[in-house]
Amino acid sequence: MRMKDVEALVYAPVNDELPPERRLESCIGMSDLVAKMVTFVICHVIVDYAEQLKDERLSVANAFLQRVTSTHLCNLKLTQEGIVYRFRGQAFDLHEEFKTMTLTRSVYEHLVMFYFLYVHPKSQEERSVTWNYWKINSKKNLLDYSPEGSNLMKEEQEEAQREIEVLRSEIFSTQLGMLCRKKLDEWTAIGKPTQNGCIEFFRNQERMDVRRVSYSQAWKYLFDKEEMTLLYRHLSIHCHPVYNGLLQYQSQGLDDEGYDGLPLYLSSCFLSCLCRLFLRLIPNGNKLLRKEFSKQELYVFNALSQLPVGEEESESHGKE
């Protein structure tokens, strides 16, 4: 296949001039390729890096990649097989364009959290504080802040609170944690419910500062694509009981108009991006795929990881 044809394949899912069945076929083909390449990475790491996986951070990174791959494979299976309703013993054909939106949104949010934990921090202190902040938010999910009390045993609640306080102490034992203590103390305090999203450190008038980054805005750090504003909103309204989303659900076409494979296509993009970030953590990880896959396969994989949602390059986003 010529490189021009490979490039056309990458853009096929968003090419409105192609018939719906061709667009869906291209989504499934590229999804298969990404799944095969990422599975190769996962198995290679498990077999050849068993000793390194004893490190907590690398082990968790590997868990990120495995979970996202499993979610993507569910998306692939559901996209290929569709949904069949049964009514009085017979198949009842209802179109479901949005059936995999929740899976794709999950893949995206895992990618975002992976990026802010492993890639975005600029120093060891930033990595440490960001990691502990994330763990605190995770442990807060074990606590119940409602007036009625907790469903957990009292001992489990107390243990979770102790672990949170240890993590808070680790944050404030760093210079960065002390410089940003006011916000970090408020955000991590027991009694404050967990917040979705990530944090990043930045310079504010020559002083170090910290801010929260929501999932809806995190795409600016990952993709130079203005279209992600609408794409993430589209994913969200079909994952929650939102009025506009339900109206769109009811008004979707009876037949595939070329959009059924787009959630899978986006999932392929997000998974390939996460895999590329993961390979940075592995010695000689950038060479791993080159030894196993062709130039054409690598081109597709790398192009997808940059989210080719349109052929026109969007203007760059400035990052503070």
pLDDT of residue 123: 96
Instruction: Please report, to the nearest 10 degrees, the dihedral formed by the alpha carbons of residues 214, 11, 15, 68 taken in order.
Output: -40
* Whole-Å CA distances, 13 to 28, 43, 233: 10, 29, 19
pLDDT digits (tens, 9 = 90+) for 30-46: 999 999 999 999 999 99
pLDDT of residue 292: 93
Residue 1, judged by CB atoms within 10 A of its CB (0-12, 13-18, 19+), counts as exposed
**Which residues lie below 8 Å from residue 241, measured CB to CB, with a gap of 6+?**
none
* Whole-Å CA distances, 45 to 26, 41, 185, 218, 253: 29, 6, 37, 28, 44
pLDDT digits (tens, 9 = 90+) for 170-186: 999 999 999 999 999 99
Give the residue with greater pLDDT, 229 vs 241.
241
Write b or e for each residue in 77-92: b if 16 or more Cβ atoms lie within 10 A of its Cβ, otherwise e: ebbeeeeeeeeeeeee
pLDDT digits (tens, 9 = 90+) for 80-138: 998 888 889 898 878 889 999 999 999 999 999 999 999 999 999 999 999 999 999 99
pLDDT digits (tens, 9 = 90+) for 255-293: 778 889 999 999 999 999 999 999 999 988 989 999 999
**Is the separation of the CB atoms in 211 and 199 below 8 Å?**
yes
* Whole-Å CA distances, 311 to 112, 177, 225: 24, 43, 11
pLDDT digits (tens, 9 = 90+) for 147-172: 455 555 777 888 889 999 999 999 99
